[in-house]
Amino acid sequence: MDQSTTILAMAIGGRVRQERQSRGWTLDQLSEAAGVSRRMVVNVEQGAANPSVGTLLRISDALGVGLPALVESPQPKPVKVTRRGEGAALWNGESGGRGVLVAGTESPDVVELWDWTLGPGDHHVSEAHSPGTKELLQVQQGTITVVVADQSVILDAGDALTFPGDVAHSYANPGTEPARFSLAVFEPGVGSGHRPAVTDA
């Protein structure tokens, strides 16, 4: 992990530990509630892991706080500003792509705003989110292919798409130039414990 990834991993680990301890939960209790291994919870809390977005979603949902709460510092003010370059890079592609969480709201109805870049050939597969999740996407640059369940859609710059996020979906850049898109995710009822347990992948 590079320095910025290490700093982010340590910050996430500290927030997970703080939220777990504030509930009086053991590592095993969080592991069971989130449907991830105890080892993964330990690694996340120690900042030793670079967990998938799916793993972080399961942990944040189990804690009832939403993913943005794990990557943002608590701020008492109603207005939160994320300056350029300050977002949380939670995904890195093999061809230079990045998925950066730039803003989000608190639970129970969480809205996340992402800035995605996919390098040529980059491909990101997302597991199904919790029931009722919706996603909105707009391409800023290049061309991307979005697959939602068994439907594939090709989008060019300026095109937008609305789709259910509670089914498996993926984003890919089939071109030779970088592609960039904005993504908003609405996840209702975070913390109600309805996310299915899956293995750490």
* Domains along the sequence of the chain with CATH: 3-63 (1.10.260.40), 88-187 (2.60.120.10)
Dist CA 101 CA 120 (whole Å): 21
pLDDT digits (tens, 9 = 90+) for 18-41: 888 888 898 899 999 889 998 999
- Is the whole model's pTM more than 0.85, yes or no? no
Q: Residue 160 class from Cβ within 10 Å (0-12 exposed, 13-18 middle, 19+ buried)?
A: exposed
- Residue among 99, 148, 138 nearest 122 (CA): 99
Distances (CA, A) of 93 to 98, 145, 189: 6, 15, 30
Tokens of 50: 């670079």
pLDDT digits (tens, 9 = 90+) for 133-176: 999 999 999 999 999 999 999 999 999 999 999 999 999 999 99
